[in-house]
Structure 1
Amino acid sequence: MTRDMFQTYDPPEVRQSGAERVDKLRRLMAKARLDAVLVPRADEHQGEYVAPSAERLKWLTGFSGSAGLAVVGRTAAALFVDGRYVVQAPSQIDTRTFEVQQIPQAKLAEWLGKHLKAGGVVGFDPRLHTAAMIEELDKSLQPKGIKLKALASNPVDRAWGRERPPSARGAVNPHAMKYAGKAAEQKIAELQAALRKEGEDAVILTLPDSIAWLLNIRGADVAHNPVALAFAIVPANGKPELFIDPAKIGPDAKAHLAPLAKVNEPAALDRRLTALKGTGKRIRLDPATASSWFFRKLKGGKARIVRGPDPCLLPKARKNAVEIRGARSASKRDGAAVARFLAW
């Protein structure tokens, strides 16, 4: 556990003027011949909470809520939030630059149709949007003659420049059996058996909590979440492959992971997917949680993408006796903390 896991009571940030940052982004849009750009809250893992280097929405707009999406056009911009943030959002953003739109009443496709002409191009970072979201938006925009364009690099990152924080490098720690209740070897064996039963050769895991559960590891990359940002490819037979910054792996984590998975640097993931693309293997991807980038990397090759849910979701939800005891113990400690706080 690190200090980053605890609630902070820092005063709220002063409302920022987003005009200068939006102008910088628009200049990059003009060079790339884009009529609009999407800026989501989510990171490459579709997380609700993100590391400082992935706070693109907050950097651009000033909005710090856990869910939202901005769209920046050539002459107009909007921030889409749900009902939880209709008060917070206007207090944090420059409302002269961004108009606040409440979902589900407000629709992104309708806003784009109103502010873009037929033939307009909307840029997006395929690593930051699920395949399901992009496919649904594309379907809604086609009748309007507006096209989506996957970008090779994120223009917000370029606008952010050297001020952007470095990638998170929180230490990875083994999650002891006294807390996990089931060995990682057993979890992996059960998942692989399920893949073989479905006739699938591998699954790509993109959710850090799924990887943390499967391998019995914990991390400190994201505040309030004991996860390590990583990706994994789990074959139906053989060792899983874990793609993670090696700087996060200390001696204890290295010893824990050695019999479980092959540890690779994040840069190796692109090459590995290219190699998989050339095989005739059946690869499971969850369109609701995996980014559009993964589907694009595998599309057009011999590999067959099997659309299916992350196979860790249900097993992770079925708590064993040890996990249930741990949850009850945590609830007691939490209740005591709340009681102390209210009494104070």
Structure 2
Amino acid sequence: MPADTAFQTFDVTTHPSQGVTNVAALRAQMTAMGLYGFIIPHEDEHQNEYLPDANERLAWVSGFTGSAGAAIVFQDKAILFADGRYTLQSREQTDPSVFSVEDFNGMASLAEQLALVPKGAVIGYDPALHSPDGLKTLKAAADQAGLTLKATSPNPLDLAWGEARPPQPAAPVVPHPIEFAGVSSADKRHGLAETLRAKGAKAALITAPSSLAWLFNIRGGDVIRSPLPLGQAILFDDGRAQIFLEPAKVTEGLGEWLGNEVSLLTPADIASALADLSGHSVLIDPAISSAYWFEALTSAGATTVPADDICALPRACKNETELKGTTAAHIRDGAILTTFLHWVATEAQTTLPSEIELAQKLESLRIASGRVKDLSFDTISGFGPHGALPHYRVTTASDIRIAKGNLLLVDSGAQSEDGTTDVTRTMAIGEPNLEHKRMFTLVLKGHIALATVRFPAGTTGTHLDALARQYLWAGGFDYDHGTGHGVGVYLGVHEGPQRISKALNRYPLQTGMIVSNEPGFYKAGEFGIRIENLQYVTKPTPIDGGERPMHGFENLTWAPIDRNLIEVSLLTEAERAYMDAYHARTFDLLKDLVAPDVREWLKTVCAPL
């Protein structure tokens, strides 16, 4: 790709007139439909986390561009819901004369607001944008408050947006070669067909873009930061399948790649395909498929069987080819990140660049590699108080320069054909103080505990979460985000069903699952710390003298951890040995992939503690 290719923009600043103009247009449409209020989730028809421009409805109406949240626009007021990750950004990007900003706790937050609405009011929603699980909460709240919750078609926001709305994406859908996928689509489909037969189902309706990409070994570009195609598919109990894609996305040879058992159809064909399922049981995931599809299946005469996305668990358990590929991708990305860390530790300590300049520097290094297809998410580049906002996204309005005496947090990642990376490093600018070092080391101790744990089959991420928090807890501290999320291989950077979090998770960690290990600490208004590597679950193996084989984690991310922030006296002998081994391995893997001056610096920062 050209050296000047840019993946990320930063002009997501406040637009003072946007809230007034766009909310007024929406209210006019609501009035025409007899609506007192309209609910606007962040999610789109595919329940995506990252959205194409055409589906950024929440951003259009409010100006807020975060990856999670919701809004309710009433005739007399408007409320934006954003969680603690977006405290600063949500207020920067919304017009306070139009939107009040409230804490977001999922559907429960929306339900609380519905309880305050005058009885008899009609509140609209688009069933294509809500999961059945989410709608249950909203409907219960509306019933209790004496409201009418009304499905709207067409969507009044889309009508208000009108011709200014960007077109739906139509990125080419291309094969994902077996050298990266490891298993053919036919083998995947026939393996899942056995599951369908065991459950007594005729078919499964698949709506998640990541499952579509994984099942058919295809990739696209409809979803920002993720190589995903938007579409739907039906998998049958004999291994055959139908995939529904806009014709503009279909590339030459795609039909041949999909094979004779897969019918390549258009969205216009979905209605008749669903009608053919009349009288049959169809699996569909109520957590990620919109209520629209449940209603469509029921109207077609099919019996919906709520169940987990049939692709989710096998997709999460990476095969040997995928693990080999993502291992290579992480080593390459580690060399890029190390080059960036060297720049921060040397030149940037004098020039003191801004947060945007830091993000652009790292991005330029990834682009120059020639192997990176995109970022895996917008780079989080937060200095000082901005680092205390876990999901801070720098804008041209919030951008500040780094300065001596505080910490820089950079969370970034890349998409390559053989792997998806996600890594966070916290760096001292100038000399760190004692508090910086103490808190960094407590976070590091938790990171090491999670990296080195052994655990039996059946263990979930919920069981392991406290390991990463224990040293912070002992000092009276904590962090308000999960410790680890699943990650795909040239798929989404956030992937389920596994995760490591306080929140209950019922999916045991299984061989080949990739998770992040990212404990942190955030002192509001002052600084933030996070240390993140990716790691995958290893096969269970015996332990000398033990009775049961145990899983463990194999590290994927290799880049130095700032030794200037480590208070060595707080580490145990085993923890020091781990750090020395980690840094020795980092140097060994990366020394031949970086420039000579970076290599000399890397040798120094990877020396034994």
Instruction: Report the TM-score when normalising by structure 1.
Output: 0.94
Q: What is residue 113 of structure 2 aligned with on the other side?
A: 111
Between the aligned partners of 2:36 and 2:62, the Cα distance in structure 1 is 19
Q: What is residue 228 of structure 2 aligned with on the other side?
A: 227
Q: What is residue 337 of structure 1 aligned with on the other side?
A: 336
Check conservation: 2:222, 2:230, Cα contact below 8 A: yes
Q: What 5-or-longer segments of structure 2 have no aligned partner?
A: 344-609
Residue 154 to residue 81, structure 1, CA distance change in 2 (3 Å): same
**Stretch moving more, 6-15 or 84-93:** 6-15
Q: What is residue 243 of structure 1 aligned with on the other side?
A: 244
Secondary structure, aligned partner of 1:101: strand
**5 Å matches for 1:191-230?**
191-230=192-231
**5 Å matches for 1:15-94?**
15-17=15-17, 18-94=19-95
Q: What is residue 122 of structure 1 aligned with on the other side?
A: 123
1:148 positional shift: 1.3
1:95 positional shift: 1.5
Check conservation: 2:297, 2:304, Cα contact below 8 A: yes
Between the aligned partners of 1:327 and 1:301, the Cα distance in structure 2 is 42
1:264 positional shift: 1.2
Look up the equivalent residue of 2:57 and give its one-letter code.
R
Check conservation: 1:118, 1:144, Cα contact below 8 A: yes
Residue 238 to residue 311, structure 1, CA distance change in 2 (3 Å): closer
Residue 96 to residue 270, structure 1, CA distance change in 2 (3 Å): farther
Residue 260 to residue 333, structure 1, CA distance change in 2 (3 Å): farther
Check conservation: 1:83, 1:102, Cα contact below 8 A: yes
Q: What is residue 153 of structure 2 aligned with on the other side?
A: 152
Check conservation: 1:120, 1:146, Cα contact below 8 A: yes
Look up the equivalent residue of 1:213 and give its one-letter code.
W
Between the aligned partners of 2:76 and 2:137, the Cα distance in structure 1 is 25
- Which protein has greater RCO, CA pairs closer than 8 Å, 6+ apart? 1
Check conservation: 2:131, 2:288, Cα contact below 8 A: yes
Between the aligned partners of 2:267 and 2:182, the Cα distance in structure 1 is 29
Between the aligned partners of 1:340 and 1:120, the Cα distance in structure 2 is 58
- Runs of 4+ in structure 1 deviating by more than 4 angstroms, as ranges, are none
1:309 positional shift: 0.4
Superposed CA RMSD: 1.9
Between the aligned partners of 1:210 and 1:8, the Cα distance in structure 2 is 26
Residue 190 to residue 81, structure 1, CA distance change in 2 (3 Å): same
1:301 positional shift: 5.8
Between the aligned partners of 2:13 and 2:152, the Cα distance in structure 1 is 31
1:258 positional shift: 3.7
Between the aligned partners of 1:54 and 1:74, the Cα distance in structure 2 is 23
1:204 positional shift: 0.3
Residue 192 to residue 239, structure 1, CA distance change in 2 (3 Å): same
Q: What is residue 303 of structure 1 aligned with on the other side?
A: 302
Check conservation: 1:6, 1:224, Cα contact below 8 A: no
Look up the equivalent residue of 2:227 and give its one-letter code.
P
Between the aligned partners of 2:120 and 2:6, the Cα distance in structure 1 is 48
1:157 positional shift: 1.0
Q: What is residue 290 of structure 2 aligned with on the other side?
A: 291
Look up the equivalent residue of 1:34 and give its one-letter code.
L
Q: What is residue 177 of structure 2 aligned with on the other side?
A: 176
1:147 positional shift: 2.0
Task: Please list the CA deviations of residues 15-51 of structure 1 after superposition, one character each: whole Å capped at 9, or x if unmatched.
Answer: 3321111111111111101111011111111000111
Residue 301 to residue 215, structure 1, CA distance change in 2 (3 Å): closer
Check conservation: 1:230, 1:244, Cα contact below 8 A: yes
Between the aligned partners of 1:185 and 1:241, the Cα distance in structure 2 is 13
Secondary structure, aligned partner of 1:196: helix
Residue 159 to residue 50, structure 1, CA distance change in 2 (3 Å): same
Check conservation: 2:115, 2:141, Cα contact below 8 A: no
Q: What 5-or-longer segments of structure 1 have no aligned partner?
A: none
Q: What is residue 313 of structure 1 aligned with on the other side?
A: 312
Which structure has the larger Rg? 2
Instruction: Report the TM-score when normalising by structure 2.
Output: 0.54
Between the aligned partners of 1:161 and 1:54, the Cα distance in structure 2 is 13
**Stretch moving more, 178-187 or 142-151:** 142-151
Look up the equivalent residue of 2:320 and give its one-letter code.
A
1:63 positional shift: 0.6
Check conservation: 1:40, 1:57, Cα contact below 8 A: yes
Residue 342 to residue 16, structure 1, CA distance change in 2 (3 Å): farther
Check conservation: 1:15, 1:91, Cα contact below 8 A: no
1:271 positional shift: 3.5
Look up the equivalent residue of 2:303 and give its one-letter code.
R
Q: What is residue 13 of structure 1 aligned with on the other side?
A: 13
1:302 positional shift: 3.8
Between the aligned partners of 1:300 and 1:64, the Cα distance in structure 2 is 35
Between the aligned partners of 1:133 and 1:15, the Cα distance in structure 2 is 30
Between the aligned partners of 2:276 and 2:339, the Cα distance in structure 1 is 56
